[in-house]
Amino acid sequence: MKNIILASQSPRRKELLALAGYDFQVITSNVDEVITMEKPDEIAKSLSSQKAEDVFNIIMDRYGNNHIEDYVVIGADTVVSVDGELLGKPKDKEDAVRMIRLIQGRKHQVFTGVTLVSMAEGKPASISFHECTEVDVYPMADEEIASYVNCESVLKTNSDLQTEVHYDWADKAGGYGIQGTFARYIKGINGDYYNVVGLPIAHLHQELKNIV
Amino acid sequence: MKNIILASQSPRRKELLALAGYDFQVITSNVDEVITMEKPDEIAKSLSSQKAEDVFNIIMDRYGNNHIEDYVVIGADTVVSVDGELLGKPKDKEDAVRMIRLIQGRKHQVFTGVTLVSMAEGKPASISFHECTEVDVYPMADEEIASYVNCESVLKTNSDLQTEVHYDWADKAGGYGIQGTFARYIKGINGDYYNVVGLPIAHLHQELKNIV
C-alpha cells in the first residue's frame, strides 16, 4: 500500500479525495506553471504534471531513494473552455460578471487534467489523463448575475474574532462553483460531476487501483 | 412572495432546496402512495403530485381559504430504472447487493418527478414535471460491492449517549448515493446531478420564478 500525496491546496480536491475513501497527505508545489500547449485538455494535463512532478522531486529530496517506492503523487488542474476561449479564475467582480455572461444560456466544457507519479521498475513514471464534462447553464438575467457575484459569505478565521468576506466565484475557474448557490442555474451536465468540482474521482480511482 | 412548503422529509431534498437559496418549511404527507402508472417518469410525477396535493389540503384545513393564496407546496419523488425494471429502496443488504449488481458496468436512468401546487385564479392548480438523468457506473468486482454495502457509518443520536449504525444504501432508491463514497464508481452522468440526489433544483427554480 503506497502513501498517497495530493499536490494541491484546493479544499475541494481534498474533500473529494477523502469522499472517494482515500487517506492522503497534502504537499504543494511552488513551481511556476508554464503553459506551453494550446488545447484545453493538453493544458490541464500539462499543468497537472508540472505540479505532480515537482512534488515527487520534493519527496525524493526529503525521504531519499530508499523510500520513494512507497509514494504516489497526484497532481490536478482544471480549466474552463467556452467557444475555444479559456477561462481561469476571475481577477475581480467585473471579470466574474464577464465570465458568467459568456457561459449563461449555453454549454461550455470543463477539463480537469490529472497526473500520477510513482516509481516503476526503479524509475519515476507518470500517467496523465483528463476528463471533459460539458455543462449547460440556463439563461440568466443581468440581475441574477449581479445577485450571484455580489453574494458575500462570511468566513470565520481561526481566532474567531476576525471575519473575512468571501465570494463564491473568487477562487474558481469560469467564475462559478457548481456545488454552491450557482447550482440553481445548472440545467444539466454530460460527464463526471466531480470533474467540474475539481477532481474526476471515479477515473482516478480506476487508475489508483493499479498503482496503490 | 409566497411561503414555500416542502412536502418531503428527505434530508437531501431539504439540503438541496436550501442550497438553491430558498427559505421554506417542511410539512409531510401521510398519504398512502398509490402507483397507477407504468412509465417511470409518470410514476415519479404521479407520486410527487399525491404528496403535494395532500399537503396543500392540510394547509387549506389549517390556515383556511383566506390565507391559502400565500402558499406553494413542492412534492417530489425519485425512481430508478434499469432496463425497464424499477428499483426502489433496498429491503435489506442482500437486496442492495442485487440492485448494485444490476446497475454496475452500464447505464441506468434516474427520474425525479416534481409537483408544485398553489392557487391560480381562485382555484388550486398543479404543475408537474420530471427530469431524467442517465448515470453510467464503472464495472464493480463482487468484493467492491460487498465493501460498499457493508460499510457502516455511526450516527450520533441527539442524546450523544446512544449511537446508531447507518448504511449508505439503506434509504436510497437503487441502493446507492451518488454524493457519498459510491461516487468513486460513477463514470459520468447525462443530465442534472441534483436530480440524482433527489431534487432537480435548476428546473424547479425556473418554475418557482413564475409562481413565488
Question: Measured in whole angstroms, how far is the alpha carbon of residue B18 from the centre of its chain?
Answer: 15
Which residues in chain A are contacts of B206 at CB distance < 8 A? 138
Which residues in chain B are contacts of A181 at CB distance < 8 A? 19-21
Residue B7: pLDDT band (50, 70, 90) is very high
Q: Distance (Å, rounded) from C-alpha B201 to C-alpha B189?
A: 16
Residues A193, B193: C-beta atoms closer than 8 Å: yes
Q: Which pLDDT tens digit goes with each residue over A17-57? A: 999 999 999 999 888 777 777 899 999 999 999 999 999 99
Residues B185, A205: C-beta atoms closer than 8 Å: yes
Distance from the Cα of B58 to chain A's closest Cα (Å) equals 29
Residue of B nearest to A192 (CA): B188
- The 3-state DSSP class for residue A63 equals helix
Q: List active site positions of B.
A: 77
Reference B40, options B82, B100, B5; nearest CA is B82
Q: List active site positions of A.
A: 77
| A193 inside 8 A of chain B by CB | yes
Distance from the Cα of A189 to chain B's closest Cα (Å) equals 5
> φ, ψ for residue B159 (rounded to 5)?
-70, -20
Q: When comparing pLDDT for B35 and B97, which is higher?
A: B97
Q: What is the pLDDT of residue A154?
A: 65
- Longest Cα–Cα distance of chain B, Å, equals 59
Distance from the Cα of B61 to chain A's closest Cα (Å) equals 32
Distance from the Cα of A186 to chain B's closest Cα (Å) equals 6
Structure-block grid coordinates of residue A54: 515537482
- As averages over each run of 10 residues, the pLDDT of chain A (212 residues) reads 93 94 93 82 95 95 87 96 92 97 98 96 94 98 96 66 81 92 96 97 94 84
Which residues in chain B are contacts of A138 at CB distance < 8 A? 202, 206
Residue of B16, B180, B188 lying closest to A191 (CB–CB): B188
Residue of A nearest to B194 (CA): A183
Structure-block grid coordinates of residue B140: 464493480
| B205 inside 8 A of chain A by CB | yes
Residue of A nearest to B204 (CA): A184
Reference A118, options A8, A9, A201, A208; nearest CA is A208
Residue of B138, B192, B205 lying closest to A188 (CB–CB): B192
Structure-block grid coordinates of residue B163: 449511537
* Pairing assessment for the beta strands A186-191 and A123-137 based on DSSP bridges: antiparallel
Structure-block grid coordinates of residue B78: 425519485
Interface size between A and B, measured as CB pairs under 8 A: 78
Residue of B19, B193, B203 lying closest to A189 (CB–CB): B193
Least confident span in A2-11, A122-131, B33-42, B183-192? B33-42
Residue of B19, B20, B184 lying closest to A202 (CB–CB): B184
Residue of B131, B188, B205 lying closest to A192 (CB–CB): B188
Residue B32: pLDDT band (50, 70, 90) is confident
Find the domain containing B24 and state its range.
Answer: 3-211
Residues A184, B20: C-beta atoms closer than 8 Å: yes
Query: How many domains does chain B contain in total?
Result: 1
Cα separation values, A135 from A79, A80, A84, A139, B81, Å:
13, 10, 15, 13, 24
Cα separation values, B176 from A136, A183, A189, B80, B184, Å:
25, 22, 20, 10, 12
Instruction: Provide the 10 A C-beta neighbour count for residue A166.
Output: 13
Question: Which ipTM did the prediction report?
Answer: 0.84
Q: List, in order, residues 6 or more apart from A185 with CB less than 8 Å away.
A: A104, A137, A138, A140, A144, A148, A176, B202, B205
Burial call B147-172: b when 16+ CB within 10 Å, e when fewer: ebbeeeeeeeeeeeeeeeeebbbeeb
Q: Which pLDDT tens digit goes with each residue over B102-154? A: 999 999 999 999 999 999 888 999 999 999 999 999 999 999 999 999 988 76
Q: What is the pLDDT of residue B171?
A: 87
The CATH number assigned to the domain holding A13 equals 3.90.950.10
Q: B94-97 long-range CB contacts below 8 Å, 24 or more apart?
A: B95/B175, B96/B149, B96/B167, B96/B169, B96/B170, B96/B175, B97/B145, B97/B146, B97/B149
Task: Tell me: pLDDT of B156 over 70.
Answer: no
